[in-house]
Chains A and B, each alone.
Chain A
């Protein structure tokens, strides 16, 4: 299917370094003895615990929920006794978060509430949204935004296109790629469920052209659904960004914050999210496990693992043959947007798309030098910003001048800092500017 691959302006060419794991089948991770399940694994209000020390829980049983609309309930991924409900280190928030610690009894008894939700055609959009909300499904691309909120746009914002994000533009990570190869039908079922929930006609599955096998697999899977199609997009980072995918495939641009994709009539979901929705409807099992890639030059046998949520990084790294050297950085997620960890005693959560062990050679630890105004960060920025000025004025704390370059538009994809020959921490300064301007309420 030689359709011309679409792309978006800006962005950077990154070395994929996916070769070590892109041909490995997804393997089921060894069941953990204990799991630590944080009550805040999504964007939005954290959940309140529904269980206490000593309770016995079953697989799929809800152990945390929140009354607020923008939230997603938390479920147990193992059966066993709750040994503690206490703050534990968190891979994304870099501070301790209230978590439920469960000692597994090895039985993995399934909770009675886990029952298939029935046939897709008989389910009404409301029932599908309710199923998604109950299953605690969030965006698995990395943002972890509650899917139930995303699929219920307000009336005055009509949606005319649904994009499935199969770009996976982060180097090293291959989870989505493997998922598309091994379970295309499950994904298509999930896409149809999401589209029915939103009430949108047209669905496009977008895959980067560096994964031709995935494009073929998905094309075969959508063959008998006329309203679904597959679009090849050129492999360029950050193609996986929501706004960049919409611009590349549909040519529309989401307005600056607080603009959302729904403002241009589009909803974008990740491949993993679609699979989780399909599982929730077909088997009734809530989001208790996910596929992630454990890789990096120091990992002896990198792998794509289907992991029960709450398994600690240590266990996952051990079952991949351990490390062949002293790691400099351990990153939760991809190298471009992932978060460097200060300890390995953190659990894999809904938003963890990969565990990356980087050696001295992989990462770059040089000191920053003077900005030589080469303009590469301006050319690289997919949001058409000028990072060098944000940094220059932020360093001098001139927030009035910083707000003129609207740091709030930044999606923190890291393209600018990637390209910067002076190794300046541009993303760090933009994050500081965002916080500073938000605090001052003056920022756009």
Chain B
């Protein structure tokens, strides 16, 4: 028996090139054009929000990873205490920006050292980029001019409460970025819904976005908003600057086979149908607010959307209906966040009841098992 070190595993022995890491990389590539364009539009304000959000997300991921695998627990608790204590103390004493910069650089340094340590001896830690995606997506749903601690606390909440508390990637029920945004809207509404510069609004008095303007009925003749909304809408959140680049990124993901067509098309399609029924301008509704970002990048998050294509269609239609219902009949101008969170909640039920037809069971008698 020749001495050999053959590996014996179950088939298959070859795999497709796609890995979780490559999926996340594709999402970041698809988001890059819209993000860069927004950062150009908003300058340092936008850049700092994105940076703080992404760095905090990575830091939070490292902290949770160390605690879960109890590696370097002491230094992790210390790092966590520092990253929370310093800003709290600093802002209490009114140090503002200096504290912010110090905290963010500390977090970046800690994250880098942890991952470097990880790569050296131990096998590469599963730093699959999902935290970076969550951080980036969360930054895109924030308005550009916010206090520095909004992306900081928001990112903490997104990673901890949105994902890691459920046990890590793949187990969370709700989209982490939207959980954070919803909690922040309920915590500090003043920063999240109003109060950022809007060269776009017809009259100077109300400082609302075009969407709120509709609600207050002060806006007529929406078509003149198509071009700016499509290309350069500084009125909404960071991610909503250019619907065109978001659409391009979304199509890229569909072509690359990362996301499937069902959710974006049914989501946006339902919005068009509903706005036609109600007599509103469908194109405007697609371009305005978080619809494009929501339908292409938030609703299509694997972990929190249904698995089967039937489930995805139901999910998309549900999101579309609720978004329009909230936009038309509720106080708040934007319905995308609540719509997607609500449908995320329904996803386990959808997955449980909409199963694919078993092979060999005649198409007529579709045996959908409960």
Chain A interface residues toward B at CB < 8 A: 12, 14, 94, 171, 243, 253-256, 259, 327-331, 335-345, 356, 358, 362-367, 369-376, 378-379, 382-386, 388, 404-406, 409, 412, 414, 417-423, 425, 427-428, 431
**Given A253-B360, A340-B7, A345-B1, are A374 and B23 neighbors across the interface (CB < 8 Å)?**
yes
User: Which B280-307 residues have a C-beta within 8 angstroms of A?
Assistant: 302-303, 307
Most buried by A among B11, B12, B19: B12
When the two chains form their complex, are residues A362 and B14 in contact, meaning their CB atoms are under 8 A apart? yes
B360 near A344: Cβ-Cβ < 8 Å:
no
Q: Which residues of B contact A367 (CB under 8 A)?
A: 123
Residues of B within 8 A of A388 (CB): 307
Across-interface contacts of B357 in A (CB, < 8 A): 384
Asked whether any CB of chain A lies closer than 8 Å to the CB of B356, the reply is yes
- Number of B positions contacting A (CB below 8 A): 42
Residue contact B19 to A418, C-beta cutoff 8 Å: no
* Interface pair A340/B359, CB less than 8 Å apart: no
Q: How far is the CA of A14 from the CA of B12 in the complex (A)?
A: 12
In the complex, the chain A residue whose C-beta lies closest to that of B10 is A428
Binds A, one of B41-49, B165-173, B244-252: B165-173
Residues A328 and B369 in contact, CB atoms below 8 Å apart: no
How far is A423 from B170 in the complex, measured between Cα atoms in Å?
14
B6 touches which of A94, A328, A406 (Cβ 8 Å):
A328
Q: List 7 A-B contacts (CB under 8 A).
A: A342-B6, A343-B1, A369-B126, A372-B302, A373-B307, A418-B12, A421-B18
CA distance A261 to B359 in the complex (A): 13
User: In the complex, are the beta carbons of B6 and A372 less than 8 A apart?
Assistant: no
The verdict on B20 contacting chain A, using a C-beta distance below 8 Å, is: yes
- Residues of chain B within 8 A (CB-CB) of A256 are 358-361
Q: Do B11 and A427 have beta carbons less than 8 Å apart?
A: yes
- Tell me if B14 and A171 are in contact (CB < 8 A): yes
With a 10 A CB-CB cut-off, give which of B10, B128, B369 has the most chain A CB atoms: B10
B213 to chain A, nearest CB (A): 39
- On whether the beta carbons of B14 and A425 are closer than 8 Å, the reply is no
Q: How far is the CA of A382 from the CA of B6 in the complex (A)?
A: 31
Confirm or deny: B207 has a beta carbon within 8 angstroms of a beta carbon on chain A: no
B362: chain A residues at CB < 8 Å are 253
| B168–A370 CB distance below 8 A | yes
**In contact, B8 and A417 (Cβ under 8 angstroms):** no
A363-B14 contact, Cβ under 8 Å, with A243-B360, A384-B356 = yes
Bound CA–CA A330/B9 (angstroms): 11
B 140-173 to A, binary, CB cutoff 8 A, 1 in contact else 0? 0000000000000000000000000000111100
Interface contact B8-A372, CB-CB below 8 Å: no
- Asked if A414 and B11 sit within 8 Å, CB to CB, the answer is yes
Query: Do the beta carbons of B13 and A358 come within 8 Å of each other?
Result: yes
Residue of B nearest to A370 (CB): B170
Quick check: is B330 within 8 A (CB to CB) of the other chain?
no
Take A373-B302, A409-B358 as given contacts and tell me if A423 and B19 are in contact as well, using a CB distance cutoff of 8 Å.
yes
- How many angstroms between the C-alpha atoms of A331 and B6 in the bound complex? 10
Among A94, A337, A375, A419, the most chain B Cβ lie within 10 Å of the Cβ of: A375
Q: Complex Cα distance A60/B157, Å?
A: 74
Question: Which 3 interchain pairs have the tightest Cβ spacing?
Answer: A414-B12, A370-B170, A428-B10
- What separation, in Å, do the CA atoms of A117 and B174 have in the docked complex? 70
B22 interface residue per 8 A CB criterion: yes
Q: Mark B90-128, 1 if CB is under 8 A from A, else 0.
A: 000000000000000000000000000000000100101
Contact (Cβ within 8 A) A364 B170: no
A331 touches B307 (CB 8 A): no
Query: Could you tell me the distance in whole angstroms from the C-beta of A429 to the nearest C-beta in chain B?
Result: 9
Name B305's closest neighbour in chain A (CB-CB).
Answer: A373
Query: How far, in Å, is A240 (CB) from chain B's closest CB?
Result: 14
Contact at A372–B11, with CB atoms within 8 Å? no
Q: Please pick, from A12, A339, A345, A383, the residue contacting B16 in the complex, using a CB distance under 8 A.
A: A12
Q: Which of B12, B303, B308 contacts A335 (CB 8 A)?
A: B12
Measured between beta carbons, the chain B residues less than 8 angstroms from A358 are: 13-14
Q: Is there a chain A Cβ closer than 8 Å to B15's Cβ?
A: yes
Interface residue? B69 (CB, 8 A): no
Q: Does B187 contact A (CB under 8 A)?
A: no
Contact A372 B307 (CB under 8 A): no
B15 CB to closest chain A CB (Å) equals 4
Known A-B contacts A382-B359, A386-B307; the reply to A372 vs B14 at CB < 8 A is: no
A414 and chain B: residue at smallest CB distance: B12
Given A330-B6, A370-B168, A386-B356, A339:B11 Cβ within 8 A: yes
- Bound CA span A363–B6, Å: 12
